[in-house]
Chain A
């Protein structure tokens, strides 16, 4: 039916789709959390923001969990090497994210303002820290991460946590934080009104501009960055181990795919066009269009990084020949096949009922609504 090479390519695409799905869905409630202390001033205003995602944050978070599970199933050695290597970065993401489910559910169950303020900051940390660190991780992946394998394929990470916080990676982190805040602001334009909506619109413009500038800056830095070229190795469709290939480092090689196939420039262009359109619609308070635009922008940014590196998914800076590529980091043909069919059937179903849930809960959240339903809303 589908040969191994095609399955490997499909899974590279599917992981990208899951990351974009995560950014679009969990991203807008993380954006809300990031903006929470700034866009909403009073307790009622904060409750408006929180209740705009109240019925949805949990479903959205499953994009994160499923992305983790899918990488485990489809790219097990990436799951193993990246998460044990970037150990404390992932710990920081997890610990920060702990404050989200509890923050949402517990915050308004006690009236004491100190309790509520504490959880508001919990929601902020749980939203902004992961948003920042995902970008930092992406930045480091573009630079390459120091790891290698022994004969048993046990992975060894030879860097430190602090080395992850280098200038380029931090810029990528800020890019990711800006785009999440931008996207969250656009969502708030859809679900709020009056002064909160005005503030959200302003936040959208600020973070939209930041996103465009940081994306451009990161792009310029990538043009002559030391990057990786797959010189030779087993055929893409062959069953292979990640240690049997030749990889060279070259300045600016991440642009190679765009040179080979100029049509790919459409992808970074989507990043810019989506961001500009998002700001335009946000200024006009057209929330839904702004939300769609920032979703397209994030798709552009995430796939720009993916396409630049392709077929690499996790380059090794200390042992480039042990870098992981979409051809050699994958599960067996059978597992990829089974998982492909599961994803093909289930993803549209999930998207359909998620869309339905948003439809059921649609409409503006107002302070009057919060006050009338004090006992049943967050």
Chain B
């Protein structure tokens, strides 16, 4: 029984866009030239490889289905009305692939590669007396990044944060792009009253402090609905689709707060393009306004959209951690580096210090954001020589 979250659709959309771009760079056109230039930059190619790896993990974590509940005979249990009963747990491809890691939980904290638990416990010795010592782990040496407070494998938890990071980083932009292109191009192309209204809307929106708008929205919309973890039947539409997904709302509102920047950029670029001679030539041919925007303006601003997308990515991933810290980020049961940092902060004040949760979040975040920044720079250099950094 498949389950599709609203954010899964974003992830699929991202995959489609990625495949589309990968095909486009092979055929003629400006993307091919840009790609040729990016390919010469070794660092950028390594970064891209890492980003693809992260993307693959995120995609695997977005394909999920519910297993039927088995009855005592080992057969699928049937409800009274004759339908199969499914487990409330919708495990993803990633969960299933790493089920060993997922299920090998300990009682509580243990350090990376440790053989024994991090906390002393009363252990029953053979002669019946109790002794306080570090108990042996169930899976000694198996946890490469240790275990967390409830004995979860930290490496697996960090990996579950990948999907959240990617969706916040790229999904948000995907949501904001249609708004930005539509309003930005419209405002720049028509000018006059249309421009005034659109400018008014985005000045108003951007005058509201982003964080507060996100907070207010998340407090109102994010509290109900899917928070990660088990799927509630009440939230599903057509038995398998979940729209009311907290992560989706977070993307949505972050998209709303971030479209204004791109919109302003596209408006300015459209104003410039409108005066270009090829637009005037189209005008002389009596080409309709909508065709002019679609064929002449939009294709000439897509490079700015791509640049914005790659450059916004890392900032958004970092913002997610901050929002989760304030308590308006993703749900507690959704794997997220922000949540990990949040809990790790308390662990730092323990004696001796529990550091591996923080380290795991740091390493995973850094190895996503750094390549994203490097690759973003390469994309910008290749697509917009005006903004060249070197």
State yes or no: do A and B come from one complex.
Answer: no
- Which B positions have Cβ atoms within 8 angstroms of A? none
